[in-house]
Amino acid sequence: MITGKNYIGDVISASGGKTYKTFNPELNEENNTVFTEATQEEINNAVSLASQAFKEYRSISGKQKATFLNTIADEILALDNELIETYCSETGLPEGRAKGERGRTVFQLRSFAELVAEGSWVEATIDTAIPTREPLPKSDIRKLSIPLGPVVVFGASNFPLAYSTAGGDTAAALASGCPVIVKSHPMHAGTGELVASAIIKAAEKTNMPKGVFSNLNSSGIEVGQQLVSHPKVKAVGFTGSIRGGRALLDLAAKREEPIPVFAEMGSVNPVIILPKALQNRSESLANTYANSITLGAGQFCTNPGLILGIKSEELTNFTNELASNIVEISPSSMLHPNIVAAYESNKEKALAQSGLIVVGNYEDEVQSNYATQIVTTVEGKTFLENTTLHQEVFGPFSMVVQCESAAQLEKIISQLEGQLTGTVISDENELPEYKPTIDALQNRVGRIIFNGVPTGVEVCPSMVHGGPYPASTDSRFTAVGIDSIKRWVRPFSYQDWPNELLPDELKNENPLQISRSVNGNFTKSNIE
């Protein structure tokens, strides 16, 4: 049942006076439940409990954490239709998407469970002592990854399950040994509360310490600011706008003890279509891209907002074909009136720039909160001179840049801001000819795609979902896949520590049978 209250560990609390409701964009009306924003006292209680829980949770075994994570997945599935119906009523997204995202959330939780049950993820590194070394003896040094402490996770508006309450950031932080306090996203507070209740049930069933997880409601920026400023919070995970992510990064840097903020923010995801591919298949590419641009009303961080090619008859054909395909697609609802308003105003700002031409625009009347898609085009020189055109328009918007030459294409790519992805469409081995452009692209993005679309982010160990700023605040880490656990840990060394007092991961006998680096060799063997 959705109460509209905060979860301070396993205590349900609503002592504040500020309330709000979520919104059904399909029906264009508020949902019924009243949510109460967390007070400063409730925030302090959640953080203090998390800090207390950390003392125990930090050294809980990988197998126990795996049981906790798998039980969260089971409890989420047990929410069944109530979760799916709430998700749809708070987002306007269809049931298929809700179920798909639930599947992804459960898969992520189980992947982290498998990772920590096996245990090698801590990257145990052992250099044994050499007492006879001259001129000085060498100590025994052993290193592993240890958790940072309580983590604050900001739920993402565009992924109410997979990147929110029990999403990738939360699953990774809990797997690493960090308690989590979620700053619930106001647009899907009911979905968030249901998932929070599943996490609390799982924590109780698996005897996790009280305060290992809390869920706080908020409908403004204050709760998030207070959480990020709290001295007992040790790291932050965020998905959303550049403005929001940057504000939190700056706030965290100004603290007496600065802490890391792992924010995944905006991206226009450049797509380069090389000449031979345009010659061979401009029609099918236009069809594929019309679908990718409008997928989920363009509300994906990997949406292709920028398509680049070298001026030619074929590029003109592609652009016209893309325009005629895109207006054939039925518009769909955006997540919330605020996102629609942001889309409209960012679109208006882009369209006001001189030299930007509209080639395809869905003009029929649509329901309230529906996004109408648009394709524009611009000359390479104009694009280079006006960085406003480089900014993300979050929604079903894309811009085709007509470059004068390969040299201009390379220059544009090298001047783009950091991006999550870059895509190259190419035929007949033309890639080597464009090596400088591909090199420039690699320097700007976190993931490079060949002959595909950037939308659709596979959850697997080799995935990188991040990139140079402002795609993310720290390009060394991914927000998707099991490697995202590395954001919530720090390396720690023991020097000449007694074997029996070392964590199991570093003991001579290797009781967990994990892979370790011992004197430079990877092995599961024990140390004699």
Residues with active-site annotation: 264, 301
Stretch that binds ligand NAP, among 96-104, 150-158, 280-288, 440-448 (CB under 6 A): 150-158
In the complex, least distance from residue 182 CB atom to ligand NAP, rounded to whole angstroms = 10
Q: CB neighbours of 448 closer than 8 A, spacing ≥ 6?
A: 421, 422, 423, 424, 438, 441, 442
Measuring CA to CA, how many Å separate 181 from each of 40, 282, 332, 366? 14, 48, 33, 39
**Which CB sits closer to ligand NAP, 218 or 473?**
218
Binding residue (CB under 6 A) for ligand NAP from 36, 52, 158, 269: 158
Compute the distance between CA of residue 278 and CA of residue 275 in angstroms, rounded to an integer: 5
**Which CB sits closer to ligand NAP, 117 or 479?**
479
**Which CB sits closer to ligand NAP, 20 or 112?**
20
Pairing of strands 19-20, 35-36: antiparallel
**Interface with ligand NAP, residue 186, by CB under 6 A:** yes
Q: Which residues, 388 to 417, sit near ligand NAP by CB under 6 A?
A: 394
CA atoms within 13 A on the CB side of 266: 19
Binding residue (CB under 6 A) for ligand NAP from 2, 248, 440, 464: 248
**Interface with ligand NAP, residue 218, by CB under 6 A:** yes
**Interface with ligand NAP, residue 266, by CB under 6 A:** yes
Compute the distance between CA of residue 116 and CA of residue 472 in angstroms, rounded to an integer: 26
**Which CB sits closer to ligand NAP, 173 or 480?**
480
DSSP string, 58-72: TT--HHHHHHHHHHH
Stretch that binds ligand NAP, among 23-31, 180-188, 206-214, 441-449 (CB under 6 A): 180-188
In the complex, least distance from residue 73 CB atom to ligand NAP, rounded to whole angstroms = 24
Sign of CA dihedral 399, 405, 406, 407: negative
**Interface with ligand NAP, residue 342, by CB under 6 A:** yes
Residue with tokens 């991206």: 267
Compute the distance between CA of residue 278 and CA of residue 119 in angstroms, rounded to an integer: 48
The Cβ of residue 491 has, within 10 Å, a number of other Cβ atoms equal to 11
In the complex, least distance from residue 239 CB atom to ligand NAP, rounded to whole angstroms = 6
Stretch that binds ligand NAP, among 11-19, 79-87, 234-242, 453-461 (CB under 6 A): 234-242
**Which CB sits closer to ligand NAP, 23 or 394?**
394
**Interface with ligand NAP, residue 36, by CB under 6 A:** no
Binding residue (CB under 6 A) for ligand NAP from 33, 51, 157, 398: 157
Stretch that binds ligand NAP, among 235-243, 307-315, 397-405, 519-527 (CB under 6 A): 235-243
DSSP annotation of 161: T
The Cβ of residue 138 has, within 10 Å, a number of other Cβ atoms equal to 12
* Beta pairing partners, 367: none
CA 406 to chain centre: 33
Number of residues that bind ligand NAP (CB under 6 A): 26
Sign of CA dihedral 242, 246, 247, 248: positive
Compute the distance between CA of residue 166 and CA of residue 156 in angstroms, rounded to an integer: 11
**Which CB sits closer to ligand NAP, 125 or 299?**
299
Binding residue (CB under 6 A) for ligand NAP from 14, 76, 301, 326: 301
> 360: helix, coil or strand?
strand
**Interface with ligand NAP, residue 247, by CB under 6 A:** yes
Binding residue (CB under 6 A) for ligand NAP from 68, 121, 154, 318: 154
The Cβ of residue 207 has, within 10 Å, a number of other Cβ atoms equal to 10
Compute the distance between CA of residue 2 and CA of residue 325 in angstroms, rounded to an integer: 42
**Which CB sits closer to ligand NAP, 149 or 454?**
454
In the complex, least distance from residue 330 CB atom to ligand NAP, rounded to whole angstroms = 21
Amino acid letter, 124: A
**Interface with ligand NAP, residue 221, by CB under 6 A:** yes
Binding site for ligand NAP (CB under 6 A): 154, 156-158, 183, 185-186, 218-221, 224-225, 239-241, 244, 247-248, 265-267, 301, 339, 342, 394
